[in-house]
Chain A
Amino acid sequence: MTTALIHFQNVSKTYDNGTLALSDVSTTIAQGSFVSLLGPSGCGKSTWLRIIAGLIAPSSGTLKWSTSHGARPDDIGFVFQEATLMPWASVLENVYLPLKLRGKALKEVKPKLMDALARVGLAEFANAFPRELSGGMKMRVSIARALVMRPPVLLMDEPFAALDEFTREKLDDDLLALWEAENWTVIFVTHSVYEAVYLSQRVLVMGARPGRILRDLSVEAPHPRHRAFRATPEYIAQCTEISDALRHDLEA
């Protein structure tokens, strides 16, 4: 198939308090794929994402990137569960942050910023402050900020979990459209079976205590996907299969 971007070999993480958050994970993530990490809370999916981002180091095992320098790409997009915006800065300044930290002048990159905002449909809110926006709009700003450097990898940690269902489905569609338009690799953490199946090419179902991969499933339906996909028998069958796997793990 496609080339692998990240290799994990026996990656484990034990926290200082002795919790084994992630146990012996070995897999690869393909370049340009949309992968979901799905599981109940406490299954180590956020820990894994943070290890990928380089925010925490694994206790044992190795993680290798197929980049020219073998390490994490410098530009990486990260979206948290909360929008995590700077409340004292305007929408434009928030999106500017990654470039500002790289020493780019605002004047020079402003078209880029406006383009990122336009892609999430917020161009006319550039000068608004985060508190003036709804939850869904804040999340869009957060996505725009993650995309502004056109990172090859986008990591998302339950990005839409705090939103209402309508907003969430709308943002799912927007995210899919963005992913289909670019050649990113997206790793998407969620605890929603329906969201994982709807979005991904591949779902890694994870179990808790210790956090580990239970199943590695591919979702065969071709992209681009649309709302109608949610009503197809194959979608429902796949959701049921995953739900059963999770229930089986919880009861075991």
Chain B
Amino acid sequence: METSRLLRILVPTLVGIAFILLWEFFVRVNGIAEFVLPAPSRIALSLYENFDSLMASLWVTLSITLLAFFLAVVGGVGLAIVFSQSRLIEMAFFPYAVILQVTPVVAIAPLILIWVGFDRTHLALLILAWIVAFFPILSNTTLGLRSADHNLRDLFRLYGASRWQILTELQLPSALPYMLAGMKISGGLALIGSVVAEFVAGSGTSTGLAWRIIEAGNRLEIPKMFAALLLLSTLGIAIFFCLSWIEHYLLHRWHESALRREG
């Protein structure tokens, strides 16, 4: 058990190190220009040189992403609860949630930017990231709330449970694994949403990582572009691991998905 776990960390790490060394070697030997493909060492240097501005941008992107994600969880779970209480409301509104989801965010972005105003780009980014992150949580939680064991539901009725008790004691716990799966998807989508929206917004008051990439691209500062990209990936990975950890923490005692096989 322990050795296989160690291997699972060790093997990808070694592959990563080997890849970086090869990259460095390849760039140096062939004398490839910095504005085509910078060596890893050059990217690290750029990260160091631009540390303050990149960190400030990282913070902007991170705060928009987290806030959008948080609001997506509140909105998605909230709306799913409303749907679970009334089939009619679900029938009336679910198709519109789908429309919001299937329309590419890049296509809505200019409109939202105009409505919100270019002096409030952060708000526009927040709305766009929210739109992208919202749907997986809504649809997963809706499904989860409906998939409570029907015998257990009968049992609750038999003991005279109120609607509120059925919701809090039965439906929400049953929906938790679905909700967390939706959150894992939405965490990544919130980041993608905030980055894509910033690309569309272009210049303005926004100063997130996406803007750093555009800016560096325009100035042909390719190492800085890579540095910003590196930070974005790291952020995405961090969000994913945080949510995976929360999922494991909440489910490991009871849910099949989180159980480790014995023997």
Pair A80/B159 contact, Cβ less than 8 Å: no
CA distance A222 to B159 in the complex (A): 34
Question: Which of B18-26, B124-132, B148-156, B180-188 faces chain A?
Answer: B148-156
Is residue A166 contacting chain B, with contact meaning CB distance below 8 A? no
Other-chain residue from B149, B158, B169 in contact with A55 (beta carbon distance below 8 A): B158
Tally chain A residues at the interface, Cβ within 8 Å: 22
| Contact-residue bracket for chain B | 20 to 34
Other-chain residue from A82, A87, A88 in contact with B151 (beta carbon distance below 8 A): A82
CA distance A100 to B155 in the complex (A): 13
Given contacts A98-B159, A101-B159, A101-B165, contact A130 B151 (CB under 8 A): no
5 contacts between A and B (CB under 8 A): A76-B158, A82-B151, A88-B176, A97-B169, A101-B159
Is residue A227 contacting chain B, with contact meaning CB distance below 8 A? no
Pair B253/A78 contact, Cβ less than 8 Å: no
CA distance A28 to B158 in the complex (A): 22
Given contacts A84-B152, A86-B152, A88-B173, contact A78 B158 (CB under 8 A): yes
CA distance A84 to B174 in the complex (A): 13
Is residue A74 contacting chain B, with contact meaning CB distance below 8 A? yes
Is residue A53 contacting chain B, with contact meaning CB distance below 8 A? yes
Pair A88/B160 contact, Cβ less than 8 Å: no
Which residues of chain B come closer than 8 Å to A170, judged between CB atoms?
none
Which residues of chain A come closer than 8 Å to B255, judged between CB atoms?
87-88
Is residue B10 contacting chain A, with contact meaning CB distance below 8 A? no
CA distance A86 to B176 in the complex (A): 13
Residue ID in chain B nearest A103 by CB atoms:
B165
CA distance A96 to B13 in the complex (A): 48
Given contacts A80-B151, A88-B176, contact A74 B253 (CB under 8 A): no
Is residue A54 contacting chain B, with contact meaning CB distance below 8 A? yes
Is residue A102 contacting chain B, with contact meaning CB distance below 8 A? yes
Which residues of chain B come closer than 8 Å to A50, judged between CB atoms?
154
Shortest Cβ distance from residue B182 to the other chain A in the assembled complex, whole angstroms: 18
CB neighbors of B among A60-116 (8 A): 74, 76, 78, 80, 82, 84, 86-89, 97-98, 100-102
Shortest Cβ distance from residue A135 to the other chain B in the assembled complex, whole angstroms: 16
**Most chain B CB inside 10 Å of its own CB: which residue of A50, A55, A86, A130:** A86
Is residue A131 contacting chain B, with contact meaning CB distance below 8 A? yes
Is residue A184 contacting chain B, with contact meaning CB distance below 8 A? no
Pair A87/B254 contact, Cβ less than 8 Å: yes
Which residues of chain B come closer than 8 Å to A87, judged between CB atoms?
254-255
Encode A115-141 as 1/0 by CB contact (under 8 A) with B: 000000000000001110000000000
CA distance A54 to B173 in the complex (A): 26
Shortest Cβ distance from residue A173 to the other chain B in the assembled complex, whole angstroms: 25
Pair A74/B155 contact, Cβ less than 8 Å: no
Other-chain residue from A84, A86, A97 in contact with B159 (beta carbon distance below 8 A): A97
Encode B233-263 as 1/0 by CB contact (under 8 A) with A: 0000000000000000000011100010000
Shortest Cβ distance from residue A207 to the other chain B in the assembled complex, whole angstroms: 26
Which residues of chain B come closer than 8 Å to A89, judged between CB atoms?
173
Which residues of chain A come closer than 8 Å to B158, judged between CB atoms?
53-55, 76, 78
Pair A84/B160 contact, Cβ less than 8 Å: no
Shortest Cβ distance from residue B55 to the other chain A in the assembled complex, whole angstroms: 40
Residue ID in chain A nearest B250 by CB atoms:
A88
Pair A131/B259 contact, Cβ less than 8 Å: yes
Shortest Cβ distance from residue B180 to the other chain A in the assembled complex, whole angstroms: 12
